[in-house]
Amino acid sequence: MQLSLCGAGLGAGKLSLLEFAELAARTGYAGIDFGISSAQRLADELGGATALSEKLLLLGVAPASFGLEVEWRRDDAAFTSGMETLAARAALAQQLGCDRCCTWMPSATSDDSSEWRTRTVARFTEIGKVFADYGVRFGLEWVGPHHLRAGGENQMGPNPTVWTLPQTLELIAETGQSNIGLLVDSYHCYTTGITEDELAALTDSQIVHVHINDAPVGVGPAGAKDGQRVVPGTGEIDLVSFLSGLRRAGYSGSIACEILAPAPVAETPDEAATLIRTALRGLGL
């Protein structure tokens, strides 16, 4: 597994994409999780995708995964508008040598559950087909924290959707797209009770990207809040087993530390990226 730098928890929101890549290079990361629109703007400034690729190559940093910008969770107009630029964004990703894009799914909705599923499967199928034309794999992330589910204290809606690994695999199967797979996050595995053996039963082709983070000591799976994550190795998630499951599955892609928290983990982006890199090294990464 190669380490990719994720902006969450770094306080790096004011950095340009090039500055972010430079941060990754000097703090020991092989790749970056990035925004595809930011990449397009930088490519335009530099004179094209080839120039951007050369910049990243000189830094020794690869574009590992980009976030989906199509508004698939909203109404038809927003979705259609996003789809108009998807092929161009996928083409840029292909030019940059990045073959992975991810999105997250709400665990509950205000819509009827069956209607949400039918619409979501149809939209993911359409997105997957566009990505397939450019060799891009599409990763879906389930959201596990109990407080966000239907009936939870901060529920995303009154009706349940998808919040477990098995449910996500079922939804992927319904799309019929072989390039759609999983974004596996240690926090969501923890809050839904996914074991090392269940991860090991997956295949490399099913896993598109991985996020690693930790839960505060003492909260337990049912009490772990989505925006209160901590640095890997400082909490109560068994990350050794999590990583062992991924290795047994043969996962060969990138892994990024995503710490969703009220404040950055250190005073500066450099200090935060270095602290996280040291913590991941302690886990054998």
DSSP state of 230: B
Q: Does the global pTM surpass 0.85?
A: yes
pLDDT recorded at residue 237: 98
d(CA 23, CA 5): 9
pLDDT recorded at residue 81: 97
What fold does the segment set 2-283 form as a domain? TIM Barrel (3.20.20)
**What are the structure tokens assigned to 255, written together?**
């892994």
Burial class (CB in 10 A: 0-12, 13-18, 19+), 7: buried
List, as own/partner pairs, every contact residues 68-77 make where C-beta atoms lie below 8 angstroms and the sequence separation is at least 24, other chains included. 68/101, 68/102, 68/103, 68/127, 68/138, 69/35, 69/36, 69/37, 70/127, 72/103, 72/120, 72/123, 72/124, 72/127, 73/106
Q: Helix axis angle, 36-46 relative to 49-59, nearest 10°?
A: 100
**What residue has token string 């892994």?**
255
Backbone angles phi, psi at 62, to 5 degrees: -100, 145
d(CA 18, CA 24): 10
User: Which of 285, 258, 233 minimizes the C-alpha distance to 6?
Assistant: 258
pLDDT (tens digit per residue) in 216-269: 999 999 999 999 999 999 999 999 999 999 999 999 999 999 999 999 999 999
pLDDT (tens digit per residue) in 53-74: 999 999 999 999 999 999 999 9
In DSSP terms, 180 is beta-bridged to: 138
Ranges of residues in the chain whose predicted pLDDT is under 70: none
pLDDT recorded at residue 120: 98
